[in-house]
Amino acid sequence: MADKKKILVLTGGGDCPGLNAVIRGIAKRAKKEKGWEVYGSIEAFNGIMKDPPELVKLTSKRIAGIHVKGGTILKTTNKGNPLAFARENPDGSVTMEDRTEILKKKLLEHNFDAVINIGGDGSQKISQALFEKGINIVGVPKTIDNDLSSTDLTFGFSSAVQVATDSFDKLVTTAESHHRVMIMEVMGRDAGWIALHTAIAGGAEICLIPEIPYDIKKLVKRIEKRYHKGRGFVNIVISEGAHAKGGQVFAREPDEKGYAHKRLGGVAYRLTEELRAAGCTADIREAVLGHTQRGGSPIAFDRILASLFGVKAFELVKDGKYGQMVSYKGSKVTSVPLKDAVKEYNFVKPDSFLVKGAKGLGISFGD
């Protein structure tokens, strides 16, 4: 009998609803073909690099029913880039090392024919770099931020918008009861997709996104007008990367070894300070949704998208189409070369139909 072909699956970067549905999709599709085995590497590439490796065989029993569960059964990490791995020295300092050759050796040693890397923008840049270094790899785009440009949607995004919209609805009733301005902060990094969709779905008065810097004076005028009309209230959605015209993103330096990004979060509090400094007299409260947007069960749409992404990812491997990323384009699941997928960041375009539509509904962007 011919040797089995082995696929290594991993989830890297921030988690999001739908990761388990992709894992299940890959394993189920592989089972329909003869001669394939699928393994998961625990904590992204870290699992295969360990001695002994931390791998889990994705058997039918192991993947049964996991598509409805949030998180990832394979665990994840933001500190597992094999091209720039943070090695801690005895004196506590950190040296970045390129561990690609070790990874290649490990893949060979354990007879893996291909890798499926489920991850966001950063992870797919890693996929492309590893592909260029000779690894048979396929990418699957995930992120609640929806900031990958070669796919109309990433799975996880719609679930995050649902969490944010449900929270927004709750904040409306308390803002109304208390005659308050309620600022709700959502994730999204440098892209305002979650904020924009939530503002339309929830019916926000104001939506602040990184792509449209705001004028604080205009915001105060808008808030005061509505707030002082009877016992008025105002609901604002702000994306974590939003800032005033000429201002900066609100971010902290990372305090974890090997974490390569600035940490966002807390811009809602800065907005309150800015509004106060600009003369806003209304009562204001803030709600920072944070990681609740990444947790819990994927909504039906994300379960479907993620499952189909899993099926497609296996088919790309089966057909030897490496260096590709699964993508959702024009209501179809297809694929694009990884090198094109990571070229451009998916910003909200200020002149897009979504922004125009939101403005048509009377939502202010403070511009």
Please list the active-site residues: 145
Single residue of 14, 18, 25, 366 touching ligand F6P by CB under 6 A: 14
When asked if residue 143 is in the footprint of ligand F6P (CB under 6 A), the reply is: yes
Stretch that binds ligand F6P, among 48-56, 139-147, 173-181, 306-314 (CB under 6 A): 139-147
* Least distance between ligand F6P and beta carbon 14 (Å): 4
Nearest-CB residue for ligand F6P: 187
In whole angstroms, what is the distance from residue 77 CA to residue 39 CA?
Answer: 18
Closer residue to ligand F6P (CB): 288 or 354: 288
What is the 3-state secondary structure of 335-357? Answer: EEEHHHHCCCECCCCCCCHHHHH
Q: Contacts with ligand F6P in 42-81 (CB under 6 A)?
A: 78
When asked if residue 185 is in the footprint of ligand F6P (CB under 6 A), the reply is: no
C-alpha to C-alpha distances, 189 to 91, 240, 243, 268, nearest whole angstrom:
33, 6, 12, 14
Closer residue to ligand F6P (CB): 124 or 136: 124
Stretch that binds ligand F6P, among 56-64, 67-75, 183-191, 222-230 (CB under 6 A): 183-191
* Least distance between ligand F6P and beta carbon 179 (Å): 31
When asked if residue 264 is in the footprint of ligand F6P (CB under 6 A), the reply is: yes
Closer residue to ligand F6P (CB): 278 or 288: 288
Q: What is the number of other CB atoms lying within 10 angstroms of the CB of residue 32?
A: 9
Closer residue to ligand F6P (CB): 63 or 195: 195
When asked if residue 148 is in the footprint of ligand F6P (CB under 6 A), the reply is: no
Token pair 């396929």: residue = 138
User: 39, 9 in Cβ contact below 8 A?
Assistant: yes
Q: Which two tokens stand for residue 114?
A: 């291909």
When asked if residue 188 is in the footprint of ligand F6P (CB under 6 A), the reply is: yes
Nearest residue to 303 via CA among 188, 166, 156, 143 = 156
User: 144, 160 in Cβ contact below 8 A?
Assistant: yes
User: 287, 199 in Cβ contact below 8 A?
Assistant: no
Burial 349-364 (b: 16+ CB within 10 A, else e): eeeeeebeebeeeebb
Token pair 């509904």: residue = 361
Single residue of 37, 43, 145, 211 touching ligand F6P by CB under 6 A: 145
In whole angstroms, what is the distance from residue 155 CA to residue 303 CA?
Answer: 8
Q: Contacts with ligand F6P in 307-366 (CB under 6 A)?
A: none
Residues 6 or more apart in contact with residue 66 via CB below 8 angstroms: 20, 21, 23, 24, 73
User: 182, 341 in Cβ contact below 8 A?
Assistant: no
Closer residue to ligand F6P (CB): 112 or 193: 193
Single residue of 187, 267, 308, 333 touching ligand F6P by CB under 6 A: 187
Q: What is the number of other CB atoms lying within 10 angstroms of the CB of residue 343?
A: 11
Over the window 278 to 297, marking each residue x when it contacts ligand F6P by CB under 6 A and - when it does not, the resulting string is ----------------x---
Number of residues interacting with ligand F6P: please give it, by CB under 6 A.
Answer: 12
| C-alpha gyration radius of the chain | 22
Single residue of 7, 22, 144, 282 touching ligand F6P by CB under 6 A: 144
Closer residue to ligand F6P (CB): 14 or 82: 14
When asked if residue 189 is in the footprint of ligand F6P (CB under 6 A), the reply is: yes
Closer residue to ligand F6P (CB): 114 or 191: 191
- Which residues of this chain interact with ligand F6P, rule CB under 6 A? 14, 78, 120, 143-145, 187-189, 240, 264, 294
